[in-house]
């Protein structure tokens, strides 16, 4: 009798353990299914110079260009992409200089030295629009701290405009965000002034609360999103597809053969020298590829040195 009771008890405990394990597994799977998949950093495996490139050209780079760059498997292809990225943005390709690239380097240095980095709202404006003609700050306690950048125009925008930054936290040191005229003046008011609205017109309220001509300073403020469309050069993105088509990945262990490269300089085109290169390969050293009706030689010329 004792043995049968213990046997039933043992089977009951085993069944309960199995059910506990089953429900525990299902709960774990359910919890895992409810969680969002962990997002991986697509730049984690890039060389530091390539991550730095993506950060520095973020205001210029389109999403298709970024995705194409991240999809390249080798560093030499990324280096070639960077060279081509700047080439297609050269405003005067017939000259020896790339004026946009040189200007961008100057503004990057300026942003790092004056703003502490190349990210953030003010750095983005500086990179695309250049340094402003003048910078002023509001001194009205009824408003959040404001910083106004005045421009007489840029090389791409031939009219005067202002960009306004506001410090939402109320600190004169920032952090700063862009203010858009469409937000209205209420988004610039300190808490004390907002409590005094009671249906009063925002313009009148600000005029009475601030001794300075704040409304006059905010009048020329431009919508930054609209300005960006004119400030960001957009080359034909067909260059990305062309680059990817020409960027051939040579498989590991691919056979090599002797070749000779000869270069000549047949003339000049403006300030540029024309270079002609001829790569000679002994026919005996390579085997032709047999096609349906003819034979052909296929070569991949990889200029990793740039």
pLDDT recorded at residue 198: 63
Is 289 in contact with 297 (CB distance < 8 Å)?
A: yes
Cross-strand pairs, 263: 277
Q: Specify the pLDDT at position 18.
A: 39
- pLDDT of the residue at 261: 83
pLDDT at 283: 78
**How many Cβ atoms are within 10 Å of 122's Cβ, its own excluded?**
23
Quote the pLDDT of residue 3: 47
pTM recorded for the entire structure: 0.69
Q: How many helices (H) and strands (E) does the chain have?
A: 11, 8
Q: What is the C-alpha separation between 45 and 212, in angstroms, rounded?
A: 53
What was the pLDDT predicted at 219? Answer: 86
How far, in Å, CA of 189 to CA of 203, rounded? 11
Pair 50, 78: CB distance under 8 Å: yes
Quote the pLDDT of residue 221: 93
Sites in the chain below the pLDDT cut of 50: 1-23, 25-28, 30, 32, 304-306
Give the model's pLDDT for residue 17. 45
Q: Which pLDDT belongs to residue 57?
A: 96
Which tens digits make up the pLDDT trace of 248-291?
666 667 777 788 888 888 888 777 788 888 888 887 777 766 65
Distance of CA 55 to the CA centre of its chain: 6
Confidence (pLDDT) at 299:
60
Q: What is the pLDDT of residue 290?
A: 66
Q: What confidence score (pLDDT) does residue 134 get? A: 95
| In contact, 163 and 125? CB cutoff 8 Å | yes
The two structure tokens encoding residue 306: 């740039």
């Amino acid at each position: 009798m004792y043995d049968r009771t213990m046997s039933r008890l043992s089977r009951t405990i085993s069944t309960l353990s199995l059910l506990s394990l089953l429900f525990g597994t299902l709960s774990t799977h359910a919890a895992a299914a409810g969680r969002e998949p962990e997002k991986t950093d697509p730049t984690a495996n890039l060389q530091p110079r390539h991550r730095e490139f993506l950060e520095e050209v973020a205001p210029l780079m389109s999403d298709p260009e970024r995705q194409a760059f991240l999809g390249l498997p080798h560093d030499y292809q990324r280096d070639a992409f960077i060279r081509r990225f700047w080439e297609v943005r050269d405003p005067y390709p017939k000259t020896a200089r790339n004026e946009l690239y040189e200007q961008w380097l100057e503004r990057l240095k300026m942003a790092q030295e004056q703003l502490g980095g190349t990210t953030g709202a003010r750095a983005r404006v500086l990179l695309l629009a250049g340094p402003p003609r003048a910078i002023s700050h509001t001194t009205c306690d009824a408003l959040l701290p404001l910083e106004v950048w005045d421009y007489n125009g840029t090389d791409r925008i031939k009219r005067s405009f202002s960009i306004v930054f506001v410090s939402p936290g109320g600190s004169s040191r920032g952090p700063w965000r862009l203010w858009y005229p469409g937000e209205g003046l209420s988004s610039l008011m300190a808490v004390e002034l907002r409590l005094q609205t009671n249906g009063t017109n925002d313009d009148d309220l600000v005029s009475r609360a601030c001794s300075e001509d704040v409304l006059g300073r905010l009048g020329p403020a431009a919508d930054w999103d609209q300005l960006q469309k004119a400030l960001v050069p957009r080359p034909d993105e067909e260059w990305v597809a062309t680059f990817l088509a020409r960027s051939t990945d040579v498989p590991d262990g691919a056979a090599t053969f002797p070749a000779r490269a000869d270069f000549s300089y047949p003339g000049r085109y403006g300030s540029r020298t024309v270079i002609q290169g001829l790569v000679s390969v002994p026919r005996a050293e390579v085997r032709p590829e047999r096609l349906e009706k003819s034979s052909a030689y296929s070569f991949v010329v990889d200029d990793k040195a740039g």
